[in-house]
Amino acid sequence: VICVDPRKTPTAAASDLHVQLNPNSDYELFNALSTILNGKEPHPSAEAVTGVPIPDMKEMVEMMKASNFGTVYVGLGVGSSYGKHRNVEAALNLIKELNNHTKFTIGALRGHCNVAGFNQIATYLYGYPFGLDFARGYPRFNPGEYTMVDVLRDRDVDAAFVMCADLVCHIPADPASYLCEIPLVCLDIAPCPTTIASDVVLPGVIDAMECSGTFYRLDNVPVYFEGFTDSPFSFTKSNEDTMQQLFDRIKKMA
């Protein structure tokens, strides 16, 4: 196990190799690894920028090449640090090069419960994992225009419904500020900054505890869980039940 993290975390301590790179140097590290993988020597500046000695980079490459089936899991920081989508592009290029030597895959570690499940179901139903717009009666996909951050940043929406995600804490300041200005409804299981900013808060039911449900593992394998107690609320059995009640009310209003 190789852990790449600027911090010394429990995961880093349990790993065979902890690569403690400098913050915001993901892009340079991915490209340096690809350079080594192609049998070339990285520029000395790669070591200065990343804070990772080139011998450690070479050790990483040899460990990955020696595996029969390896995987890379990237966290939210890869897309949030300097380089943003270029970091992801560099990571994908590294995986492509690794597959010339052995079998390697890449996956994403998500920040909220069962986000992978939403992506899987949205892709299955509509062909796209996120950033969907239904204004024309059919799904349109355009990151940079239709994602939650995009529509809040551009002030395209004048109301919002947030389900089981503390957006106020996890999106940029300007979209978060606008989210607090418009009518906001939130469904969540616990108090958080988003529930505090909301005009209406719907109590959530805890999946796999207070109701049954399907979760998706990090490798996108669905796992069904039986609830071991009932919903504490008399007016809803699950979050799905709450959403169905809202949907039925909206259909009556149409």
Please tell me the predicted confidence (pLDDT) of residue 156.
95
Q: What is the CATH number of domain 122-253?
A: 3.40.50.740
Residue 187 and residue 167 in contact, taking contact as beta carbons nearer than 8 Å: no
- Mean pLDDT, to the nearest integer, of 62-74? 95
Report how far residue 163's alpha carbon sits from residue 134's, in angstroms, rounded to the nearest whole number: 18
Fold held by 2-108: Dimethylsulfoxide Reductase; domain 2 (3.40.228)
- What pTM does this model have? 0.69
pLDDT of residue 38: 95
Q: What is the mean pLDDT of the chain?
A: 92
Task: Give ranges for CATH 3.40.228.10 in the chain.
Answer: 2-108
Sign for the CA dihedral angle at 46, 62, 106, 168 comes to: negative
Domain with CATH 3.40.50.740 in the chain: 122-253
Predicted confidence at residue 80, as pLDDT, reads 74
